[in-house]
Amino acid sequence: MTNQNILQRAKGSGLSRRGFLAAATASMGSLALAGCSPAAQENTLAETGEAPEILEGGEWVPLPCAPSCGGRCVTRGYLVDGVIVRQKTDDFIEDTAENPQYRCCPRGRGSRQLYMGADRLRYPMKRKHWQPGGKDFHGELRGIDEWERISWDEALDLIASELKRIKENYGPEAFFCGISGDGRGGGMGTGGGVTRLLNAFGGCVYVWGTQSYGGMPIVGNTMQGEPWFFGATDTQDEFSMAKAKRVICFGMGNVTWNNWMYVKHAGVEIIVVDPICSPAAQALADRWIPVRPGTDGALLLGMAYHMIENNLHDQEFLDTYVSGFDADHMPEGSDPKDNFKDYVLGTYDGQPKTPAWASEICGVPEADIMWLAEQATSVSPLVMRSTLGPARTDNGQNYAQIFLAVGWMTGNVGIPGGEVSMSHPAMMGSKAMAQSGQNGIVVPKNPICEDPAESAALPFGGYDPSKFYGLPYGHAWDAIINGKVIDFVHGERDIDIRCIWKVGTFAPLNQISGGMKGIEAFRKVEFVVSSDLLMSSDCLYSDIVLPCASLWEAEGGSAAQAIGDGLLIYYGNKVMDPIYEAKDDLWVEAELAKRLGLDPKEVVNVEWKQACFNRVAGTQVMKEDYSDYEPLVSITQDDIDELGVEGQPQDGKIPYKEFVKTGYYRCERSQNDPFVFTPRSGFRADPVGNPLGTPSGKLEIYCPSLVDYMKLYGTEPLVEATPKYRPAKEGYEDTFANWDAKEKGEYPFQMVSTHHMRSMHSFYNNVKWICEAFANNLFLNVLDAQKLGVSQDETVLISSQHGKMLRRVNVTPRIMPGVVLMGEGNHFDVDEEGIDRGGNANALAGGHLIAAGHQPWNTVMVKIEKWDGDPLQPDCVKPARIYDFE
């Protein structure tokens, strides 16, 4: 069944009044931005077509759900005549503690409203006042201009001629692409992070640094002597972790915590240190210790002081496995005075890092700091885990150093149940029972800009400082606006970006810090092109917008991916044809290649269907006797002929067709299988025979190579070899005009922006059911609300040095006084006064260049004022951005 009929049918499948109103709106003619009519407040056709009471005439089919949360949970849809009318989740295996069901989250269950929403982009569009040619582009109207429907041919011709013109006049360095690589998953369509076309056309400028990991990667690499990737080799699996007596977790957000339930049910005590008590913390934690953002370093030092004073730390472990804890264990050639213990005691700098000192900074009462130190050392095995949030701060790298140092003081390395790790919150162990195959997509090499490594995360190491890697996150918008970029050893160099390219799975304007500067950068350049499923912020500030087909519209969308814990392999079935004129990005690139005189095969070397087949065919799962991996699927010549792909027949666990029909294959764990994983057990057993990759072969608290490595970036290193607390720029200390007099400054509050129940970054924020269930309000402590005179759901104006925003408030005791929280990801909706009514946390966060290119989202200072203008409507009733042109 094809295109618009699907939406029409979804709409008509239950004629409620709401459905009728929405249908009426949809036929009202071309709305540039639906808004005035109340009926337009319905944004999802799926919602309006209320599902029939009795499900008949269709079948349950597996649906792909592959956003970048890392979860790959089970969603199923009831398919009637080309329309998914209902969704459900994993109910086809028994739910046990060892092998729980992969039940999906509210976002996954809301996918129907996303993929079948009336606000899906339907046609290619051009911004009315934009003219090609680089003169009359009217950048100032980006974000507020009207839209015209154009044909695919027109769109592709315009894009091709602009790309040619810009390259001829300014060279490939004029193209900015906010990411690198082929987007190895996480897409909602077939796009990925697409730079194939621009690379083949002569290259483009990437962005480098980290999105997710804050200041952790280089610290993890150098202090532990092996590549730090998400902490995958630092974390245990849940069976090993269940042997712990206690977990102390720094930062516990709302994300993918289901595998922690096993640990919880095993009776392990969990203490959470976080400015907020998230829903996950509410489910898991036995005690919540509120801490000010960006000050955990001070808290940990206060704990270390109490440990040293009372001899609670594991001196024997430190003597054997660690370099640089005290003067007697410093590497040759270093100044013994630079040891960590003397820094904690204040022997040479005159400032003992006592719990009282720490308390003044971090806001945790002295008694609780001492209590935490005792909790960390009174039992073993113990888990000291930090998730990523606390490192997404200006002083994230200093935090990471101190976290590892104080963690190691407890001695919990390399023993079952013991762990000192910095990692993704959902991370459990590094061993996979299933591995997905390669899709065979080869991204053409970028001739002018070095790939800053997977996921644009340069700091994973192994780069050549003499090469150009593009614009660092946090500094990218400044670089585009000012035409100057800081570049490793070259220092400052000129850059002249004329075109911003967002064709693929990323949302640079919405998601990079310093979003208001992002808008300025978007408005400055001559040409911006975006492809997406809906009118995202990036699209809104573009000149040409292309409608992208979704995962539900592509065979094998994100085929055969092993999920985070390597237990579930899933396959995304195509359930409907692309809506209206939506096309997948690979098609777009191949078409543009032709127009640019390139060989489309060089740009898109394998077709999507072949890529999916490759992936499935190459997927391996563990044999029942755990002796080796074997192919997941058997493939016959008939399968290959029927699919029209190239390949070889093979023997595997289950027939190809069965896998595709079921959509999932899951491996079973048991408590005594060889996948129980305890990191660094070999090192613990024999530190001389199994040394680490550090110069000393040990865990390095005192770590000169960290400083050397940081210097390679050509930016201010901001670290010393000894872990030390450094107050964050825009951190707690900066909220004071006068610290000694405790006199607050203009921006007295600290704001964090976290990943939350409402969205998958910028995705799902448009789904009204989810918006209704999880209003992305500003979380404000009860005491602060009283002082400000605001109550639940009232509107406040939040301002930072970087931007302004209106939000309704959630008044709650579950956030520390003085701290406010916004979920990240909302789309911009900036009014004439420059106030963002959309609630994008990046309107307030200011990007700046930090040593290794991470972004300081959790050290942001704001002021809050009661809003006396019209109150802000809740997001769930806000008009959707619908462009129908009928």
Ligand X SMILES: Nc1nc2c(c(=O)[nH]1)N[C@H]1C(S)=C(S)[C@@H](COP(=O)(O)OP(=O)(O)OC[C@H]3O[C@@H](n4cnc5c(=O)[nH]c(N)nc54)[C@H](O)[C@@H]3O)O[C@H]1N2
Residue 423 lies near ligand X (rule: CB under 6 A): no
Residue 507, contacted partner among ligand X, Mo ion, none, CB below 5-8 A by kind: ligand X
SS3 assignment, position 86: strand
Distance CA 428, CA 238 (A): 6
Distance CA 515, CA 238 (A): 38
Distance CA 485, CA 472 (A): 8
Residue 531, contacted partner among ligand X, Mo ion, none, CB below 5-8 A by kind: ligand X
Among 307, 503, 611, 617, binds ligand X (CB under 6 A): 503
Residue with tokens 């719990």: 355
Site string for ligand X, 799-828 (x = CB under 6 A): -------------------------x----
Residue 867 lies near ligand X (rule: CB under 6 A): no
**Do 322 and 698 contact (CB within 8 A), yes or no?**
yes
Residue 759 lies near Mo ion (rule: CB under 5 A): no
Write the burial class of residue 333 (CB in 10 Å: 0-12 exposed, 13-18 middle, 19+ buried): exposed
Residue 278 lies near ligand X (rule: CB under 6 A): yes
Nearest approach in angstroms of CB 426 to Mo ion is: 11
Residue 573 lies near Mo ion (rule: CB under 5 A): no
**Do 732 and 361 contact (CB within 8 A), yes or no?**
yes
CA 530 to chain CA centroid, Å, is: 20
Best CA proximity match to 877, nearest among 109, 116, 38, 45: 38
Q: Which two tokens stand for residue 499?
A: 């075109």
Residue 274 lies near ligand X (rule: CB under 6 A): yes
Checking phi first, is residue 144 left (phi over 0); if not, alpha (psi -120 to 50) or beta? alpha
Site string for ligand X, 582-621 (x = CB under 6 A): ---x------------------------------------
Residue 251 lies near ligand X (rule: CB under 6 A): yes
Residue 388 lies near ligand X (rule: CB under 6 A): yes
Comparison of 277 and 344: residue with beta carbon closer to ligand X: 277
Distance CA 410, CA 307 (A): 9
Q: What are phi and psi of 181, to 5 degrees?
A: 90, -170
Nearest approach in angstroms of CB 698 to ligand X is: 27
Nearest approach in angstroms of CB 548 to ligand X is: 4
Nearest approach in angstroms of CB 255 to ligand X is: 3
Amino acid at site 192? G
Among 44, 87, 190, 810, binds ligand X (CB under 6 A): 190
- CA-based Rg of the chain, rounded to a whole angstrom? 27
Side-chain-side CA neighbours of 740 within 13 Å: the count stands at 0
Site string for ligand X, 197-226 (x = CB under 6 A): --------------xx--------------
Nearest approach in angstroms of CB 550 to Mo ion is: 21
Among 423, 505, 558, 795, binds ligand X (CB under 6 A): 505
Distance CA 490, CA 479 (A): 15
Residue 212 lies near Mo ion (rule: CB under 5 A): yes
Q: What is the dihedral of CA 547, 550, 555, 560, to 10 degrees?
A: 140
Residue 305 lies near ligand X (rule: CB under 6 A): no
377-385, 777-785, 790-798, 840-848 -> range binding ligand X (CB under 6 A): 840-848
Amino acid at site 94? E
Q: Which two tokens stand for residue 137?
A: 């582009």
Comparison of 89 and 421: residue with beta carbon closer to Mo ion: 421
SS3 assignment, position 235: coil
Residue 755, contacted partner among Mo ion, ligand X, none, CB below 5-8 A by kind: ligand X
Residue 468 lies near ligand X (rule: CB under 6 A): no
Positive or negative, the CA dihedral 198, 199, 201, 202 is positive
Distance CA 394, CA 718 (A): 10
Among 25, 111, 180, 256, binds ligand X (CB under 6 A): 256
Comparison of 771 and 845: residue with beta carbon closer to ligand X: 845
Among 117, 253, 417, 687, binds ligand X (CB under 6 A): 253
- Give strand pairing partners of 13: none
Among 501, 659, 857, 883, binds ligand X (CB under 6 A): 857
Best CA proximity match to 444, nearest among 596, 569, 308: 596
Comparison of 190 and 211: residue with beta carbon closer to Mo ion: 211
Distance CA 277, CA 816 (A): 9
Comparison of 111 and 254: residue with beta carbon closer to ligand X: 254
Site string for ligand X, 61-100 (x = CB under 6 A): -------xxx------------------------------
Best CA proximity match to 250, nearest among 372, 412, 363, 430: 372
Among 182, 314, 394, 532, binds ligand X (CB under 6 A): 532
Nearest approach in angstroms of CB 606 to ligand X is: 16
First-to-last alpha carbon distance for the chain, in angstroms, is 20
Nearest approach in angstroms of CB 517 to ligand X is: 14
Nearest approach in angstroms of CB 425 to ligand X is: 4
57-65, 530-538, 798-806, 870-878 -> range binding ligand X (CB under 6 A): 530-538
Footprint on residues 748-807 left by ligand X (CB under 6 A): 752-755, 757, 759-763
Among 147, 176, 262, 506, binds ligand X (CB under 6 A): 506
Comparison of 388 and 635: residue with beta carbon closer to Mo ion: 388
Distance CA 819, CA 102 (A): 34
Q: What is the 3-state secondary structure (H, E, C) of 688-716?
A: CCCCCCCCCCCEECCCHHHHHHHHCCCCC
Q: Quick one: angle between helices 296-309 and 355-362, nearest 10? A: 160
205-213, 396-404, 437-445, 827-835 -> range binding Mo ion (CB under 5 A): 205-213
**Whose CB is nearest to ligand X?**
389
**Do 652 and 557 contact (CB within 8 A), yes or no?**
no
Nearest approach in angstroms of CB 711 to ligand X is: 26
Nearest approach in angstroms of CB 234 to ligand X is: 15
Q: Quick one: angle between helices 585-595 and 152-170, nearest 10? A: 60
Q: What are phi and psi of 513, to 5 degrees?
A: -65, 160
Nearest approach in angstroms of CB 765 to ligand X is: 9
Q: Quick one: angle between helices 216-224 and 704-711, nearest 10? A: 140
Comparison of 212 and 859: residue with beta carbon closer to Mo ion: 212
Nearest approach in angstroms of CB 766 to Mo ion is: 20
Side-chain-side CA neighbours of 277 within 13 Å: the count stands at 18
Among 197, 252, 701, 721, binds ligand X (CB under 6 A): 252
Residue 210 lies near Mo ion (rule: CB under 5 A): no
**Whose CB is nearest to Mo ion?**
212
**Do 217 and 367 contact (CB within 8 A), yes or no?**
no
Site string for Mo ion, 11-30 (x = CB under 5 A): --------------------
Q: Where are the beta strands (DSSP E) in 52-143?
A: 59-63, 75-80, 83-89, 125-127
- Footprint of ligand X (CB under 6 A): 68-70, 187-191, 211-212, 250-256, 273-276, 278, 291, 293-294, 296, 387-390, 392-393, 425, 503-507, 511, 531-533, 536, 548, 585, 752-755, 757, 759-763, 824, 841-842, 845, 857-858
- Footprint of Mo ion (CB under 5 A): 211-212
